[in-house]
Amino acid sequence: QVQLQESGPGLVKPSQTLSLTCTVSGASIRSGGYYWNWIRQPAGKELEWVGRIFASGHSDYNPSLKSRVTISIDTSRDQFSLKLSSVTAADTAVYYCARGEDRDYHNVGFDYWGQGTPVTVSS
Amino acid sequence: DIQMTQSPSSVSASVGDRVTITCRASQDVNRWLAWYQQKPGTAPKLLIYAASTLQSGVPSRFSGSGSGTDFTLTISSLQPEDFATYFCQQANSFPPYTFGQGTKVEIK
């Protein structure tokens, strides 16, 4: 059974960098055909896709966040990480990591998710 | 970005009812649409992908249909464990993937 687990600080000060790590177990992060995503959800609001990374290291980001986001991967540890710089209160949300898959060159959903970790941006 | 609009925002229903939720995309997304179920305090669960393909392990009372800009999620006979919020997600135009605002299914 594939499991994902987020970890990182739950409180970040404005203008600082939010850093989270997702640890994958039950499957290798190098498994072909999958990619690894960060998705966030402000309280009571819709989900927002932040970005993704492949085992190769190739990454894609939401254009609305691209200037502030970096996603990296450590295949030796089956982990991938999110860094979001210059945070404001608008970045307060539950952050999820999730596995994605493409078929016919299109995403067919995010099938495994972490439990989510709440992050609050506040001084 | 493609905007996804769900209706209704909430629906009250009883156990055994048939429930239909709609999702409309601001542009054609072909059949590349997924549906998720989310219960309070938990991560979303993938129910359907490619508009109508049931994810492994999901009960057959859930079904999806549609293509282009208009999609529906149907629960044929609502069960107690189905009271939750449901989201759609488009996967045709990337980046970014975008989600609907959610539809809350409540007990009548």
- pLDDT tens readout for residues B17-32: 999 999 999 999 999 9
**Distance from C-alpha of A5 to C-alpha of A23, rounded to nearest angstrom:** 5
Task: Give the model's confidence band at B57: pLDDT under 50 very low, under 70 low, under 90 confident, else very high.
Answer: very high
Q: Who's near B81: CB < 8 A, 6+ residues apart? A: none
**Beta-sheet strands, E only, within A2-62:** 3-7, 11-12, 18-25, 34-41, 48-53, 59-61
Q: What is the pLDDT of residue B94?
A: 87
Within chain A, how many helices (H) and strands (E) appear? 0, 11
Q: Which residue has the tokens 């085992």?
A: A55
Q: What is the pLDDT of residue B108?
A: 86
Partner-chain contact A47 B99, CB within 8 Å: yes
Task: Give the model's confidence band at B49: pLDDT under 50 very low, under 70 low, under 90 confident, else very high.
Answer: very high
Interface of A with B (CB under 8 A): 45-49, 51, 60-64, 96, 98, 103, 106-111, 113-116
How close A103 comes to chain B (CA, Å)? 9
Write the residue in B45, B48, B102 that is nearest to A46 by C-beta: B102
Average model confidence (pLDDT) across chain B: 96
User: In the beta sheet, which residues pair with residue B36?
Assistant: B46, B87
Q: What is the pLDDT of residue B48?
A: 98
* B47 pLDDT above the threshold of 90: yes
Q: What is the pLDDT of residue A44?
A: 87
* B38 pLDDT above the threshold of 90: yes
The number of beta carbons lying within 10 Å of the beta carbon of residue A113 is: 23
Q: Which tokens belong to B37?
A: 């179920």
Tell whether B54 lies on the interface with A, counting CB pairs under 8 A: no
Q: What is the pLDDT of residue A111?
A: 95
Residues lower than pLDDT 50 in chain A: none
